[in-house]
Amino acid sequence: MPSLLMLVAVSLAAQHCSFAQTQSPRIGVFDQSAAGGQGASVDGLVRGLTDLGYSVDRMTDLGTLTLLRYDIAYLSDMHSPGRVQPDWQTAVQSFVESGGGVLQTWHHHFLGQVGIGIQRVYGSRGMHVVPGHPAVAGLADFNARYEDHIIEKVGPNGTVLLMNDTQQPVAVAGELGKGRVISTGLALAIPGGGSSAPPKGPEVPLLKAFLSWLTPTVPRADRVGQVLQTPRLEVSPAEALSAAGFPVEFHAAVGSAQLADVVLTCEGATVSPEPAAESPDAPPLLRAFRLSVTTEPQREREQEYTVRARAGGLSLEQKVRVNAVYGTPPKEEVRGVWLHVATEKHPRLVMPELKRLGLNTAVLRIAGGTAAFYGSKVQPDVQDPLAPDGDWLAETVKYAKANGIQIHPYVNNCVVEGRTSPESLKRLRDAGRLQEGPDGRPLDWFCPSQDLNFDAMERVMLEIATQYGVDGVQYDFIRYPNDQGCFCAKCRARFEADTGKPVANWPKDVVEGDRHSEWIEFRCGRISALVERISTRLRKEAPQVKISAAVFCDWPRCREAVGQDWVRWCKEGWLDFVCPMNYTLDAKLFADRCKVHREALPNGFRLIEGIGIAAGPGTMHTPNEVATQVALARKAGADGFLGFAYQPTHTSSLFAPLNEWLRSE
């Protein structure tokens, strides 16, 4: 079972705390993934800043008391903050105005008095320093590590620090009250756009300069005194979802500008004191409490708790709500994981482990683009770890069947991924078989308007389905990369032929003009034609094999975003089941998506929800997180789940404690 909740009560004593200015600021990096929000993970960023010598912690909320522990709050790629206090923006603004520093990068800024992102620019890396501001003193022009960036709208308190090649602002600095803010549209420490990595190259001096300027000039004691005029209690989250039978998790803090004893109680819960670790910069009085709130197995129930605190002669309280969820397990439930080929994941080890964990399905990435991770006769770039004497897919099928595991290999269909050899990539580019952006920029994805590409994608799936005794095959990356493809001459010709009308202004009319809705349907039609063709062939050549697809979870927006009309594929009978990649650490968001998926599909069509146990939006750390999403999927009428992605030690730590729960349920 998950560890019990730690409720931390802190007395922030201004006259005793060591909040004095230091040369190296204390940095709190907000981990929106851990808070159930959306945005790139911060693992690499935190590791990199630590390696550079900074004192860095992760923040999982944006409450006043959390922020006051730090000199600088780093908000990286914060699409959505997740489970934070409703007044988090006010808390951040107060933190700055009292003297703190804030660095907000890439997406979704909110301190618009200094700068706020307004427009994304693709395929441009050149950055030019605007001299004269101490935050960029001594820096030279450079190329951004990631090619996409956001243009900043300069607020009334903002001064431009960086411009792009077209002289648009990309970084802005300014003061709010006694504190400082830098807002930049650069994807700092996010080289691939999906997850963070340690800062590298010109990012290092840039970040050092930014953080140096953001370091407060106001002592931390003065900042605490300004914000905490009276004692304060904060509990986060205000509402928690948990699988019935599991404990729930909160975080609480009590702050006071005067040194005082703190007592914390919560009726209906078992509270016991627990020592808390102290750091050199921490206030001298730290009192920790352990709170155990039990929920009944197999009983759905909402319950409210009142957390009460006494501090500085005042009584404080905050209500929190626990929603224990239960869903009846479906018949023949799919319980599985997606996994990748890697030497430490040999099927002779993985398949018995999946069986031990109570799982029954493995969906293995086995091919993509021109690459194959098995002994393929139709893919030019074979990268089988067992070659030339063995075949990874044959070994996987053997050990899967020996352990009662259903095996469904999957293919990254449309993307020509990085494992494609340079020779194959050059051959495809020279033949004009890859996509183009609206500006003519090449995209390493198969153009879906060409029969040669349909042939290539069909051959590999047919080989897997007919030659290896698998239980199923799965489409993945069966889509466009985004709304930027494909605008090649072949796509234009096919679009004009299909619609019976030429495009006067290409590609403007289809990107944003009066032909845009037709363009959306055209793109959906091209991907659907691919699915129809391959599935029809599979039904004929391998009727015993089940066909599925890993699809975007944001139905129906994915039709416009990536041309993925997956509900149609289900209604047409081209799939046997569908797997929305419902990756989020926010249980409520997961539940909302589950409901949309079930309602969009035909009655009785098999729905297998994807759970992000270690995915782009974040990593799950407790079995309760997994159990909660499994329960929510069951409640919504799903027929099973797949966890993305299997890592031996991590996956076992999550599912081993759930083995009895999964089986008994």
Asked if residue 2 is part of any domain, the answer here is: no
Q: Same domain for 582 and 540?
A: yes
pLDDT of residue 66: 87
Q: Which residues contact 335 (CB under 8 A, 6 or more apart)?
A: 358, 359, 360, 361, 640, 641, 662
Among 174, 196, 218, the domain boundary falls at 218
State yes or no: pLDDT of 285 exceeds 70: no
Give residue 304's pLDDT.
95
- Written in H, E and C, the secondary structure of 499-515 is HCCCCCCCCHHHHCCCC
Q: What is the mean pLDDT of residues 345-355?
A: 97
Strand (E) or helix (H) holding 43? helix 43-51
Name the pTM for this structure.
0.83
pLDDT per residue as tens digits for the range 484-496: 999 999 999 999 9
* Calpha distance 378→18 (Å, rounded): 66
pLDDT value, residue 23: 59
pLDDT at residue 8, rounded to an integer: 33
- CATH code of 172's domain: 3.40.50.880
Instruction: Identify the pLDDT of residue 108.
Output: 83
Give ∠ CA 140-142-147 in degrees, rounded to 5.
160
Q: Give the per-residue pLDDT at 2.
A: 37
Would you say residue 14 has pLDDT above 50? no
Q: In terms of domains, do 343 and 456 share one?
A: yes
- Domain co-membership, 293 together with 193: no
Q: Which of 28-42, 432-446, 463-477, 562-576 has the lowest mean pLDDT?
A: 28-42
* pLDDT attached to residue 222: 86
DSSP 8-state code for residue 488: S
Tokens 């960086």 sit on residue: 162
Per-residue pLDDT for 664 more than 80? Answer: no
Q: Is residue 503 part of a domain?
A: no
Q: 655 phi and psi, to 5 degrees?
A: -95, -25
Of 325, 357, 387, the one marking the end of a domain is 325
More confident residue, 277 or 191: 191
> Which of 278, 308, 325 is the last residue in one of the domains?
325
Residue 286: pLDDT above 50? no
275 and 347 in a single domain? The answer is: no
Domain of 597, in residue numbers: 334-415+445-478+528-664
Q: Is pLDDT larger for residue 415 or for residue 281? A: 415
Tell whether 180 and 45 lie within a shared domain. yes
Quote the pLDDT of residue 65: 86
How far is 146 from 327, CA to CA, in rounded Å? 43
Confidence label for 287 from pLDDT (cuts 50, 70 and 90): low
Yes or no: say if 373 and 366 are a contact pair by the CB < 8 Å rule: yes
pLDDT band (50, 70, 90) for residue 665: low
Report if residue 122 sits inside a domain.
yes
Confidence band (pLDDT; 50, 70, 90) for 17? very low
Would you state the pLDDT for residue 11? 35
pLDDT of the residue at 256: 74
Average pLDDT, whole number, for the chain? 90
pLDDT in tens, 112-148: 999 999 999 988 999 999 999 999 999 999 999 998 9
Q: Are residues 260 and 232 in the same domain?
A: yes
CA 362 – CA 629 distance, rounded (Å) = 19
pLDDT tens track for 525-545: 999 999 999 999 999 999 999
CA dist., res. 334 & res. 43, Å (int): 31
How many angstroms separate the CA atoms of 346 and 491, rounded? 42
For residue 335, pLDDT beyond 60: yes
Question: Total structural domains in the chain?
Answer: 3
- What is the domain-level CATH number for residue 460? 3.20.20.80
Identify whether 7 is part of a domain.
no
Does one domain contain both 409 and 278?
A: no
| Cα distance between residue 665 and residue 660, in whole Å | 8
Q: What is the pLDDT of residues 596-612, one digit of tens each?
A: 999 999 999 999 999 99
pLDDT at 7: 33
Q: Are residues 298 and 385 in the same domain?
A: no
Asked whether the predicted pLDDT for residue 377 surpasses 90, the reply is: yes
| Same-domain check for residues 169 and 84 | yes
Predicted local distance difference test score (pLDDT) of residue 279: 40
| Residue type (1 letter), 342 | A
- Tell me phi and psi for residue 165, to 5 degrees: -60, -25
Judge if 33 and 136 occupy the same domain. Answer: yes
Q: Give whole-number Cα distances, 409 to 371, 372, 469, in Å.
A: 14, 11, 11
178 with 233, same domain? no
Q: Domain for residue 428, yes or no?
A: no
User: For 415, which DSSP code?
Assistant: B
pLDDT for the residue 239: 86
Share of the chain above pLDDT 70, in %: 93
CA R_g for the chain: 27
Query: Would 485 be classed as within a structural domain?
Result: no
Residue 464 lies in a domain: yes
Name the band, by pLDDT with cuts 50, 70 and 90, for residue 260: low
CATH number, domain of 298, equals 2.60.40.10
DSSP string, 89-118: HHHHHHHHHTT-EEEEESS----TTTEEEE
pLDDT tens profile 288-326: 567 789 899 999 999 999 999 888 778 999 999 999 999
Segment 259-265 mean pLDDT: 75
* 242 and 210 assigned to the same domain: no
Question: Could you tell me if residue 209 is inside a domain?
Answer: yes
Cα–Cα dist 32/37, whole Å: 5
pLDDT single digits (tens) 204-247: 999 999 999 999 999 988 888 888 888 888 888 788 899 999 99
pLDDT tens per residue across span 559-568: 999 999 999 9
* pLDDT tens, position by position, 400-418: 999 999 999 999 999 997 7
pLDDT at 262: 79
